[in-house]
Amino acid sequence: MSHGHAEVITTHEVHHDEHGAHHHHQSFITKYIFSQDHKIIAKQFLITGMIWAIIGGLMSVLFRLQLGYPDQTFPWLEDILGNWARGGKITPENYYALVTMHGTILVFFVLTGGLSGTFANFLIPLQCGARDMASPMMNMLSYWFFFGGSIVMLSSLFIQTGPFSGGWTAYPPLSALGDASPGSKTGMDLWITAMAMFVVSSLLGGLNYVSTVLNLRTKGMSMTRLPLTIWALFFTAVLGILSFPVLLSGFILLLFDRHAGTSFYLSDIYIAATNQALPNEGGSAILYQHLFWFLGHPEVYIILLPAMGMASEILSVNSRKPIFGYMAMVGSLFAITILAFLVWAHHMFVTGLNPFLGSVFVLLTLLIAVPSAIKVFNWLTTIWKANIKFTPGMLFALGFVSLFISGGLTGIFLGNSTLDIHLHDTYFVIAHFHIVMGVSAFFGMFAGIYHWFPKMYGRFMNNTMAYIHFWGTLIGAYLIFWPMHYEGLAGMPRRYLDYSNWSSFNQFADLNRFISTVAMIVFALQLLFVFNFFYSIWKGRKVTTLNPWDATTLEWTTPIHPGHGNWEGEIPEVHRWAYDYSKDGRDFIPQTEPIGPNESKH
C-alpha cells in the first residue's frame, strides 16, 4: 500500500505531457499492466470489454447467418470454424453454444464488466474529486479477476465437448446434466468457474465504488452536488453488491448438484440418452430460477443505470441546460434500485408460480415504469428550449432516450402476466430486452466513450466516423429489432435455429434474412467504431484546452493528461451543484467557482 502512495506523489509531479509517459521511471508492468491507477484500470476494463464485444457480436453474426439462411451451406464457415460448422452449416449444438455465449458475454463481460468497470473506475474519483479509489489494490484485483474469468470463459470455447450451450440463464436440469446436453459437460464447469471469478471481480469493484463515493468526496462535494453519473454508478454498485452473492450461491448449489450428488434442483429425472433414471428426488428446478433472477433482474438495472447516468450528464452538458428535476432524477434512480429487488419473479409467470404471487409481481413490476417515466419526461424537458450541440456523445445520448422509450414500453407488455402468457419466450422478448438493455445500454456506453475520450487519451475521436457510426447503428438497431415484435406476436419462440418445419412460424423466412443482413452491416459499423477508437488514441486530433465541452464537473479541472493522483497540488473545492448551465447570463459556471454575491438560486 505504501508503494501506492509513493506512486501518487511522484506521478502527478512528473507527468505533464504525453511523452513523459514513455520516459517515466515506473516500469511498464506497474504502470500499464498491474496498475493501481483507476484511470488505467478503467481503460483495461474498456479495452477488454471491447474485445469481448467484438467476439460476442461476431457470434451473433454467425447465428444470424444460420437464422437468415437455414437451408444454405457456407463452406468457408467450415474453413474458419472447423467442427463448429461441419459441411458449411452451423450444427445445432454449436448454434446453441453461440447463442449462450453471446448472451453471457454481452450481459456480463461487456455490459456489466465493460460498462461499469470502465466508467465507475474512470469517473468516480475524477467527478467526486478523489486521488484514486478507496482501495487501489482491490481495484486492480477486480480487473484481474475479471481478466481471469474472461480467460476461463474463452477457454471453454476450445474444449472437445464445446462451451456451455443451455442458454445464458443456465437453468437446471439442463445445465446440471452432461447427459442431457454435451455443452453441460466440462463447458459448464468452466462457465461456472468463469462466472464465479466474475462475481468476485464485481464485488471487489462494487465495494470500492461505494466506499469511494461515500468517503472520498472532495471538500464541499455533498451528495446532492454529485453529478448524476456518480449517483447512477453508486446505485449500480449497491445493486451488484446485494445481488451477485445470491447468484453465486445459486451457482454453488448447481455445482453440488453436478458433482456432489445433491438434489437441490433435481428430481424425477429419466435420461433417455443413457436409459437411466437419476437417483435425485425432492429437488426443485424452480429454486434455481428464483436465485438466478434475484440477481438477473437487478442485473438489467446494473446494465442500464450507468447508461442513464451518463446520458443525463451528457444531455445536460450539450443542451447547455441544467438537467431537469435533479432531485427527481436521484429519487427515481433510488426507486428503481429498490424496486429492482422486488420484481424478479416476473421472469417466472409461466413456471407454475402461484398465480397470487404472480399478481404481486405484476404490480411491483409495472410500478418500475413510474420512475422510468419520470426520467424520460425529465430528459425531454432537459432538451426543451435548450441550445443543443450535436457532439457524438450527445447524439448517442439522444439515441439512448429513444431506445429506452421503445424498449421500456414493451416491458409494460411483458411485465403484465396476462400478456406474458402469450409473449413469454417469443421474439417479442428478444426485441424488448435487446432494445432496452442491449442497444440502449450500448448507446449509453458509446455516449460515454465519445464524451470522455478526450479525458482518457487527450485526443478527440474522429467526428465523421462517429456520425456514420451513430446514424447507422440507430437505424440498424430499429430495423433489426422493431420487426421482431411482430414475430413475437405470431408466437415465434426464441432459441430455434430453423423454423422451416413449423407451419405456425415459417412465414417469416424473408424477414429473418433481412434482419440477418442488417445485423451484419451493423456489426461492420461497430468495427468502424473500434477502428476510430484505436486510431484516435494515437492519431486523433489533440485536445488543447482543459475543458473541451465547457462542462462544469471536476474531471475537466485536471490536466489534459492527468497523472496518478489526478490533480497537481490541492484537490479543488466544490461550491455548487454540477448543473449551472446558462444561469445568470453565463454559459456555464464550474462546480469549483464560489457562489457569487448576487447569484440567483436554483
Partner 1 sequence: MTTTGLFLLAILALGFLITFQIAKASEYVSVLKGEKKSFEQNNKINGFLMVVFLVLGLIGVYWCNKALYHKTLMPYPSASEHGENIDTMLKITLLITGIVFFITQILLFWFAYKYQYSDKRRAFYYPHNNKLEVLWTTVPAIALCTLVGFGLYYWFKITGEAPANAMQVEITGRQFGWIYRYPGKDNVFGKKYFRMIDEADGNILGMLWKDSTMETPNGVQNLKADPTGYDDIIQTSAMYLIKDQPVKLIINSRDVIHDVGLPHFRMKMDAVPGTPTTMWFTPKYTTEEMKKITNNPNFEYEIACDQMCGNGHYSMKGLIKVVTRDEFVLWRAKQQPGYKAPTKAGDPAITEPGAQPAPAAQPADTAAAGAGAVVPKGNLVAAHK
Q: Which residues 64-83 are close enough to bind partner 1 by CB under 8 A?
A: 73-76, 79
Instruction: Tell me the closest approach of the beta carbon of residue 464 to partner 1, in angstroms.
Output: 4
Q: Is 516 in the site for partner 1 (CB under 8 A)?
A: no
CB 157 within 8 A of CB 163: yes
Based on the shown chain and the rule CB under 8 A, indicate whether residue 177 belongs to the binding site for partner 1.
yes
Q: CB nearer to partner 1: give 41 or 180.
A: 180
160 binds partner 1 (CB under 8 A): no
DSSP type of residue 580 = -
Among 16, 259, 389, 542, binds partner 1 (CB under 8 A): 389
Radius of gyration of the chain (CA): 24
Beta-sheet pairing, 270-271 with 276-277 = antiparallel
Tell me which DSSP letter residue 21 carries.
G
Q: Does the footprint of partner 1 cover residue 340 (CB under 8 A)?
A: no
Q: Is 3 in the site for partner 1 (CB under 8 A)?
A: no
CA distance linking residue 30 with residue 182, whole number of Å:
42
Among positions 58, 241, 342, 386, the unique one binding partner 1 when judged by CB under 8 A: 386
Task: Determine the residue type at 355.
Answer: P
Least Å from the CB of residue 478 to partner 1:
7
Residue 500 class from Cβ within 10 Å (0-12 exposed, 13-18 middle, 19+ buried)?
Answer: exposed
The residue count for binding partner 1 (CB under 8 A) is 139
Residue 186: alpha-carbon gap to chain centroid:
27
Query: Cα–Cα distances in Å, from 125 out to 158, 214, 402?
Result: 39, 11, 30
CB 298 within 8 Å of CB 239: yes
- Which residue lies nearer to partner 1 by CB, 425 or 593? 425
Of 31 and 424, nearer to partner 1 (C-beta) is 424
**Nearer to partner 1 among residue 140 and residue 333 (C-beta):** 333
CA distance 38 to 133: 7
CB of 499 to partner 1, least distance (A): 8
- Binding segment for partner 1 (CB under 8 A), chosen from 47-55, 112-120, 171-179, 561-569, is 171-179
The residue among 50 and 141 lying less far from partner 1, judged by its C-beta, is: 50
Per CB under 8 A, 283 contacts partner 1: yes
Q: Among residues 409, 456, 537, 543, which is the contact residue for partner 1, using CB under 8 A?
A: 409
234-263 positions binding partner 1, by CB under 8 A: none
Q: Does 51 bind partner 1 (CB under 8 A)?
A: no
Cα 154 to chain centroid distance, Å, stands at 19
Q: Which is nearer to partner 1, 138 or 369 (CB)?
A: 369
Nearest distance in Å: CB 71, partner 1: 14
Distance of CA 28 to the CA centre of its chain: 29
- What is the number of residues in the chain? 602
232 binds partner 1 (CB under 8 A): no
The stretch among 143-151, 173-181, 241-249, 301-309 that binds partner 1 (CB under 8 A) is 173-181
351 binds partner 1 (CB under 8 A): yes
Rounded Cα distance between 40 and 32, Å, is 7
Angle at 343 between CA 341 and CA 346, to 5 degrees: 150
DSSP 85: G
Angle among Cα 359, 361, 363 to the nearest 5 degrees reads 75
130 binds partner 1 (CB under 8 A): no
Among 116, 121, 139, 165, binds partner 1 (CB under 8 A): 165
**C-alpha 496: how far from chain center:** 25
- Per CB under 8 A, 543 contacts partner 1: no
| Binding-site member from 508, 549, 556, 567 for partner 1 (CB under 8 A) | 508
Amino acid, res. 31: K
Find the binding residues for partner 1 in span 291-330 (CB under 8 A).
Answer: 319-328
Residue 569 touching partner 1 (CB under 8 A):
no
- Check binding of 545 to partner 1 (CB under 8 A): no
Binding of partner 1 at residue 92 (CB under 8 A)? Answer: yes
CA dist., res. 283 & res. 221, Å (int): 52
Smallest gap from Cβ 357 to partner 1, in A, equals 11
Number of C-beta neighbours around residue 80 at 10 A: 10
Nearer Cβ to partner 1 (269/307): 269
Q: Which part of the chain contacts partner 1 (CB under 8 A), choosing from 149-157, 447-455, 557-565, 583-591?
A: 583-591
Are the C-beta atoms of residues 129 and 167 closer than 8 Å to each other?
Answer: no
Which of these ranges, 178-186, 210-218, 249-257, 559-567, lies near partner 1 under the rule CB under 8 A? 178-186
Dihedral, 420, 423, 426, 428 alpha carbons, nearest 10: -110
CA distances from residue 417 to 343, 347, 362, 437, 453 in whole angstroms, order as listed:
12, 9, 6, 20, 43
Task: Determine the straight-line distance between the first and last CA of the chain, rounded to whole angstroms.
Answer: 43
With CB under 8 A as the contact rule, the residue among 160, 222, 464, 598 that binds partner 1 is: 464
Pick from 586, 588, 512: nearest CA to 552: 588
How far apart are CB 68 and partner 1 at their closest, in Å? Answer: 14
- Residues 23, 160, 282, 597: which binds partner 1 (CB under 8 A)? 282
If one asks whether residue 426 binds partner 1 (CB under 8 A), the answer comes out as: yes
Q: Which of 41, 101, 291, 362 binds partner 1 (CB under 8 A)?
A: 362
